Amino acid sequence: MSIVAIVGRPNVGKSTLFNRLIERREAIVDAVSGVTRDRHYGKSDWNGKEFSVIDTGGYVLGSDDVFESEIDKQVELAIGEADAIIFMVEVESGITGMDQDVAKLLRKSRKPVLLAVNKVDSASRTNDALEFYNLGFDKYFTLSSINGSGTGDLLDELVKILPEQIEREEETLPRFAVVGRPNAGKSSFINALIGEDRYIVTDIAGTTRDSIDTKYNRFGFEFNLVDTAGIRKKSKVKEDLEFYSVMRSIRAIEHCDVMILVFDATRGFDGQVQSIFWLAHRNNKGVVILANKWDLVEKDNQTVKDFEKYIRQQCEPFTDVPIVFISVLEKQRIYKAIETAVEVYHNRSKKIKTSVLNETMLPIIEAFPPPANKGKYVKVKFCTQLPTPHPCFAFFCNLPQYVKEPYKRFIENKLRGQFDFTGVPVTIYFRKK
C-alpha cells in the first residue's frame, strides 16, 4: 500500500487532517504545540485508491529540547518511508523560518510534495495564501482541516501521483497492546523487538502520548503491536493531554486480543499496575506480565521464585498468568516475551470439541459434584463451549441457582489443568437444562 506522510512545523493542523483522512479521532489534537511525538499510522482511501497515512510531530530544526530533536528524527524517517508527502503550512502565521527549513528538507528528499495551506476558511484568507508560492513549489492547495473544505481537491491530486498498488484481500491481524505505568519501558520494548527506533524514548515519564500500531512478523505469526501511553491514577492526571493519552491506552486494552503488561521490577507490582491487570481481566483479554529492568534487581537463587510468588498473590484468584523477567536495555528474554504472548493468543482462541469436553469434565464433576444445598443435589448432564471471542463454557444442570462461586472456580481450575488456558480469563456458566 502507498504511504503518505503529513509533514510541517508544530501546530499547523497535521493531526486534525490525519484524523479526517482516516475518519477516526485517533491522533490527539490540542491547541498546545508539540502534542504529536511519534509517527502515527492510519489507513485512508479516495476514489477507490487505498493508502497509508503517517502523522508526524512538528519539525523544528536546531532546538535544544530533547523531544524536538527526537521528533525531527521521526519526521525524517517518515519522509524516507513515504511515496508522497503533504507539506502542511497555515495561513494565519504566513511563511515562517521553520516552514522554510521543512521546505529545504523536502526538496532534498526528491519525493513528490503537495503543499497544503491550512486554516483557509474564508475568501479573504484565500488571497493571503498567495505568499506561499515563495516556498518554491509549483502550486498549493487551500483547505481547512477542521471542517474539511478543500480536502477533496488535495486528495484528487494526491491519488494521481501515488504509485499503482496491487490489490490483496483485507486481513484482520491480532492486536497485542503493550501497556503499563509511565516510564516502565514500553516504547523501548517495541523498539528492541522491531530493531529500529520507531518510538521516541526518553527518561521523562509520559513521553508517549498516542496509542500507535506497528505491524510485526516473527515466529511465523503476524500481528499488530500497539504502543500506549503510561497509565497513572486519576488523581495524578492534571492536564488534558495526559487525560486523552490515558483514555487512548484504555481503549487500546478494550480493542486488543492480548495485553502485554510491562512494569518496572525495581518499583514492584504496585497498586496501579494491579489496576491495569484487572482492567484487562474485566475485558476478558489475554495477559502476559513482563517484569522489566530485571538487570537492575539484586538477585540470589531464590529471587525469581519469590518475586513470581509475590506477583501471583497480587493477582489472586486469576493466578494462571505467564510472567517473564526481561531487560529491554540488555535485550534479555524480549523474544521469549513475544513468543509467550503468541501462545496466550492461541489459548484465547482455542475451541474444545463438545464430545472431548464432556468426556473429560463429566467424570470429574461426577467424582466431585457441587455441594448439596438445603437437601438439594445438583446434577450436571452436559457441557459445551460457547461461540465467543474468549473461552466461555456452559454447564447444563437441574438446579443452577445452587452452584456457588467456589465450585465455579474449581471447575475453571480443572478446565485450565486439562486444556491449558494460561494467561486467559475463563468464564463459567451453569444453566437450567
pLDDT in tens, the chain (433 residues): 688 888 888 888 888 888 888 876 654 444 444 444 445 667 788 887 888 887 877 666 555 544 455 566 667 777 777 888 888 888 888 888 888 888 888 888 888 889 999 888 877 788 888 888 888 888 889 988 888 888 888 899 988 888 776 554 445 678 888 888 877 777 788 888 876 654 444 444 444 444 455 677 766 777 777 776 655 444 443 444 434 455 566 777 778 889 899 898 888 888 878 888 888 888 899 999 999 889 888 888 888 999 999 999 998 888 899 999 999 888 888 889 888 989 999 999 999 999 999 999 999 999 998 888 878 888 989 999 999 889 999 999 998 888 889 999 999 999 998 998 999 999 999 998 7
Q: Is 404 annotated as belonging to a binding site?
A: no
Give the per-residue pLDDT at 230. 57
Rounded Cα–Cα distance for residues 83 and 273 (Å): 41
Q: Is 57 annotated as belonging to a binding site?
A: yes
Q: Decide if 294 is inside a domain.
A: yes
Q: Residues 6 or more apart from 260 whose CB is under 8 A from it?
A: 176, 177, 178, 179, 189, 288, 290, 337, 341
Q: Is 182 annotated as belonging to a binding site?
A: yes
Q: Are residues 400 and 259 in the same domain?
A: no
Last-in-domain residue among 135, 161, 187: 161
Element (H, E) at 240: helix 240-254
Q: Are residues 268 and 358 in the same domain?
A: no
Concatenated DSSP letters of 43-99 = EEEETTEEEEEEE-PPP-TT---HHHHHHHHHHHHHHHH-SEEEEEEETTT-S-HHH
Q: Is 268 annotated as belonging to a binding site?
A: no
Q: Is 297 annotated as belonging to a binding site?
A: no
Rounded Cα–Cα distance for residues 169 and 150 (Å): 31
Q: Is 8 annotated as belonging to a binding site?
A: yes
Q: Is 228 annotated as belonging to a binding site?
A: yes
Q: Is 292 annotated as belonging to a binding site?
A: yes
Q: Is 56 annotated as belonging to a binding site?
A: yes
Q: Is 34 annotated as belonging to a binding site?
A: no
Residue 228 in contact with residue 252, Cβ under 8 Å? yes
Give the per-residue pLDDT at 47. 84
Give the per-residue pLDDT at 219. 61
Q: Where are the beta strands (DSSP E) in 171-293?
A: 175-180, 212-218, 221-227, 258-264, 286-292
Q: Are residues 295 and 397 in the same domain?
A: no
Rounded Cα–Cα distance for residues 373 and 250 (Å): 41
Q: Is 224 annotated as belonging to a binding site?
A: no
Last-in-domain residue among 293, 323, 349: 349
Q: Is 120 annotated as belonging to a binding site?
A: yes
Q: Decide if 15 is inside a domain.
A: yes
Q: Is 358 annotated as belonging to a binding site?
A: no
The burial class, CB within 10 Å (0-12 / 13-18 / 19+), for 364 is middle
- In this structure, the dihedral spanned by the alpha carbons of residues 366, 372, 378 and 383, taken in order and rounded to 10 degrees, is -50
Q: Are residues 145 and 41 in the same domain?
A: yes
Q: Decide if 19 is inside a domain.
A: yes
Residue 266 belongs to a domain with what CATH number? 3.40.50.300
Q: Is 220 annotated as belonging to a binding site?
A: no
Q: Decide if 170 is inside a domain.
A: no
Q: Is 47 annotated as belonging to a binding site?
A: no
Q: How far is CA 401 from CA 116, 370, 373, 431, in A?
A: 65, 11, 10, 8
For the packed helices 334-348 and 186-194, what is the interaxial angle rounded to 10 degrees?
100
Rounded Cα–Cα distance for residues 104 and 426 (Å): 57
Residue 258 in contact with residue 286, Cβ under 8 Å? yes
pTM for the model: 0.60
Q: Is 10 annotated as belonging to a binding site?
A: yes
Q: Are residues 413 and 278 in the same domain?
A: no
Residue 70 in contact with residue 38, Cβ under 8 Å? no
Q: Decide if 168 is inside a domain.
A: no
Residue with cell 492510519: 42
Query: Using omega within 30 degrees of 0 as the cis cutoff, is the peptide bond preceding 370 cis?
Result: no
Q: Decide if 166 is inside a domain.
A: no
219 three-class SS: coil
As given in the structure block, the three cell numbers for residue 263 are: 512494569
Q: Is 327 annotated as belonging to a binding site?
A: no
Q: Is 183 annotated as belonging to a binding site?
A: yes
Give the per-residue pLDDT at 354. 94
Q: Decide if 100 is inside a domain.
A: yes
Rounded Cα–Cα distance for residues 322 and 306 (Å): 15
Q: Are residues 307 and 180 in the same domain?
A: yes
Give the full edge-to-edge strand order of the sheet including 221-227. 212-218, 221-227, 175-180, 258-264, 286-292, 323-325
Q: Is 230 annotated as belonging to a binding site?
A: yes
Q: Where are the beta strands (DSSP E) in 296-344?
A: 323-325
Last-in-domain residue among 349, 381, 400: 349
Q: Is 355 annotated as belonging to a binding site?
A: no
Residue 208 in contact with residue 256, Cβ under 8 Å? no
Q: Decide if 417 is inside a domain.
A: yes
Q: Residues 6 or more apart from 243 whose CB is under 8 A from it?
A: 237
Rounded Cα–Cα distance for residues 309 and 145 (Å): 53
Q: Is 227 annotated as belonging to a binding site?
A: yes
Q: Are residues 198 and 102 in the same domain?
A: no
Range of the domain at 221: 175-349
Rounded Cα–Cα distance for residues 225 and 178 (Å): 7
Q: Are residues 288 and 307 in the same domain?
A: yes
Task: Please count the structural domains in the chain.
Answer: 3
Count of Cβ atoms closer than 10 Å to residue 216 Cβ: 17
